[in-house]
Amino acid sequence: MVKLSDQDILIIVDVQYDFLPGGSLAVPQGGAVIEPINVLAKAFRHVVLTQDWHPKGHASFASSHPGRQPFEAIDLHYGPQVLWPDHCVQGTPGSEISRELDIPHAQLVIRKGYNAGIDSYSGFKEADRQTSTGLEGYLRERRFRRVFCAGLALDFCVAWTALDAAAAGFETYVIEDASRAINTDGSLTRAQSDMGAAGVQIISSAQVDGS
Ligand code: VGL
Ligand code: ZN
């Protein structure tokens, strides 16, 4: 069991309509995260949410690259980039965080992916690996020690957020049953091995003791 304290924070990643059933980048079984997240969030005093938040014509959209298809990879100025269907465009219904989430005590929504030329899977650092969202400073200033991550998608935004949390020095956990993966081109296996190598601990909701 992992006994929670006041120095623990839960980061709920990208539970937005475009990643849920019917969305433009629907994660397989994405809707299955809602219930476990709602239960889990009640065990945490501190919760933050992330929101994928792209301008129209974003560099991560296949539609921005003539002749390219979703789920192909290309090289952008900062390195390889998987191309996606248009998703989470600022202000659209698909970009909204699910109203099924029952986390009224969430303290912050951190938006990411708003720079037109840079993707950001991570809630901490954009894909150029330079540009910061400010989340690390926020968590440090509030003196958190451990970060717990869950949401969508396990092999992209959850994994990258967890990897950056670990790199920033937080003891980091991913709650697997409260997350679901896209799993394209071996992405889930790769994310799992990257997280293992970084010391991110993969646990289940049942191991979290909020009492
Ligand atoms: C995500 C692909 C593109 C995610 C966001 O939330 O995992 N995946 N943008
Ligand atoms: Zn995105």
pLDDT tens track for 136-151? 999 999 999 999 999 9
Parse the chain into domains and list their residue ranges.
2-52+87-209
Amino acid at site 152: L
Of the candidates 7, 12, 23, the one whose C-alpha atom is nearest the C-alpha of residue 178 is 12
Residue bearing the CA closest to ligand 1, atom 2 = 156
Pocket test for ligand 1, best of 11, 15, 25 (most atoms within 8 A of CB): 25
In short, whether 126's Cβ falls inside 6 Å of ligand 1 is no
In short, whether 61's Cβ falls inside 6 Å of ligand 1 is no
CATH homologous superfamily for the domain 2-52+87-209: Isochorismatase-like (3.40.50.850)
What mean pLDDT is reported for the chain? Answer: 98
DSSP state of 198: T
**Residue 70 CA: which ligand is closest?**
1
Q: Give pLDDT, residue 206.
A: 98
Q: What's phi and psi for 64, nearest 5 deg?
A: -85, -5
Stated pTM of the model? 0.98
Ligand 1 atom closest to the CA of 60, numbered from 1:
3
